[in-house]
Amino acid sequence: MMSYPRTLVLALASASALASTAALAEDPQKGGTAVIHMISEQRILNPALRASTGVYNISGKIVEPLIDKSYDGYVPVLATEWSSSDDGLHITLKLREGVNWHDGKPFTCDDVAFTAIEMWKKLLNYSSALQANLESVDCPDPHTAVFNYSKPMPIDLFLAAMPDLGHPMPKHLYEGTDILKNEHNTAPVGTGPFKFVEYERGQYVMAEKNEDYWRKGYPYLDRIVWRFIKDKSAAAAALEAGEVHESGFIGVSMADIERLSKDDRFDVGTKGYENNVAHSTVEFNHRNPILADLKVRQAIYHGLDIDYAIKTIMRGFAKPGRGPVPTAGGANYTDDVKTYPYDPELAKKMLDEAGYPVKDDGFRFHLRHRPAPWGEYTQLWAEYFRQAMAEINIDVELLTNDAPGFLNGVYRDHDFDTANGWHQFRSDPAVSTMVWLRSGQPEGTPWTNQFGWKDEVMDKMIDDAASELDPEKRAEMYHEIQRREMEELPVIFAIEHPFISVTSKKLHNHHNTPRWNSSSWYDLWLEQ
């Protein structure tokens, strides 16, 4: 379990308990508009093309997955039943009947089959590796889908993937088009409780109640508006003024989070993010021969005072990372890995030995570093990285940019030496994490291994673990992957942390699932 400051934990737990009691005591009210703060915009709103919290936070209310996750386990959404063959080569889903897309066309297996092959397998950033062995999806009838694999697909892995990587899209709107340029990627048509209405770039996205929603009597809200507010102080002020009802994913400063946690008008805490633990990272462009040197990467790690960064940047609301699998990984996580304690003198010695002595300008070499624009702490982590590297005589230039600039600069154009952001773990290592390590990812796909790093041993380890049906054997395989990653350091998974939301108590039924900000909010209601 992750450890946090006791006083803050008690305050957050108390606030959540009071909110839950209050919600149970009242009947849901219908109507109203929930206004949600977004830190940045990624433009793409198709969750079958881009797996990202910035996408799910909006499109999760419009486009539904086959299966979602609750605190009691996996729950049916567009799929109502699931089963696997004994050999793990075939997974059969029964699909919900009587569901329509927002344009009135019926939802059927054809939509699932088309999306699985044309988007999940070929284009979706995390899913392309996960579904590499998917050969076909058969439709024996309109409401049965049979996934056929060339290698075993563990049913537990399939289920873990579906909440984030299992959103069908309407075949009739995508077939025969250039999928990546389809207009519905920014104006999605789904089956969810809310229908897309408008996207004003740089300002807001709006969705309104789906009157034909298959869950009868839902949703409660009339509409949701997501406001893009980059300035964290302005976002906190909007919360306090009642202009915004919720800011998630640490969208305001840690100082404001601590301050607002003492304000009786708000619920502040990590509940609802159990499926979304993240790592703050340092990513290397291995095309740079300096960074391709393992000793240099190890020296950089020794030059980072992780405990100091946790205390000052995350206010203690985090713990040191131990590789690509966080403690939330359960049996798939291990502490038994190589670590890199803070030791700047050792770091300097290793850099000297690697052939990078201090030059006349006082530096060994120069790095161009891109920080992700995901919030205050990613920028502060970048600034700390620059300061820490200066202590071991490495010059770092920060290249700040908006979300598209960061994604293109790092993952498409490779126009960086180092970068930082956060990598989110989603239930199972094979769902989102292994694509950061496995070579051969589709060119330019965000949040995958676009770093120029290839390790055939690691590739085989990842592939073998993904198709192992025995959970105990599979867990040990991930332990070995974790150990190898910490030895080879293609990426530094430096800090493990939860996300935090600040939510007006006027919203009820909020953060009631372990991936709430990404879920549909069909039962969310607003006290008016």
Confidence bin at 290 (pLDDT 50/70/90) = very high
Strand 79-84: give its sheet, edge to edge.
Answer: 79-84, 90-95, 144-149, 134-141
* pLDDT in the model for residue 234: 96
Mean pLDDT over 250-254 rounds to: 90
* pLDDT in the model for residue 8: 40
The Cα–Cα gap between 342 and 327 comes to: 21
Which of 279, 321, 280, 291 is closest to 451 using CA atoms? 291
* pLDDT in the model for residue 13: 39
Query: Pick the residue with more confidence: 92 or 270?
Result: 92
Mean pLDDT over 79-84 rounds to: 98
Reported as a single tens digit per residue, the pLDDT across 187-213 is 999 999 999 999 999 999 999 999 999
* pLDDT in the model for residue 88: 96
Phi, psi (5° rounding) for residue 140?
Answer: -65, -25
Q: Which of 14-23, 293-302, 434-443, 471-480 has the lowest mean pLDDT?
A: 14-23
Q: Write the Ramachandran bin of 441: left for phi over 0, alpha for psi from -120 to 50, otherwise beta.
A: beta
Token pair, residue 373, equals 């624009």
> What does DSSP assign to residue 30?
P
3-class secondary structure, 232: helix
Q: What domains lie within the chain, and their CATH numbers?
A: 6-43+192-274+500-526 (3.40.190.10), 67-179 (3.90.76.10), 278-497 (3.10.105.10)
3-class secondary structure, 37: strand
* pLDDT in the model for residue 102: 98
Does pLDDT of 20 surpass 90? no
The Cα–Cα gap between 111 and 405 comes to: 32
The Cα–Cα gap between 12 and 496 comes to: 19
Does pLDDT of 17 surpass 80? no
Q: Which of 103-107, 263-267, 268-272 has the lowest mean pLDDT?
A: 268-272
Does pLDDT of 110 surpass 80? yes
Mean pLDDT over 285-289 rounds to: 98
Q: Between the CA of residue 128 and those of 63, 132, 134, 423, what are the distances in Å?
A: 20, 6, 10, 17
Confidence bin at 275 (pLDDT 50/70/90) = confident
* pLDDT in the model for residue 5: 40
For the chain, the average pLDDT equals 93
Query: Pick the residue with more confidence: 130 or 111?
Result: 111
* pLDDT in the model for residue 126: 83
Reported as a single tens digit per residue, the pLDDT across 499-528 is 899 999 999 999 999 999 999 999 999 999
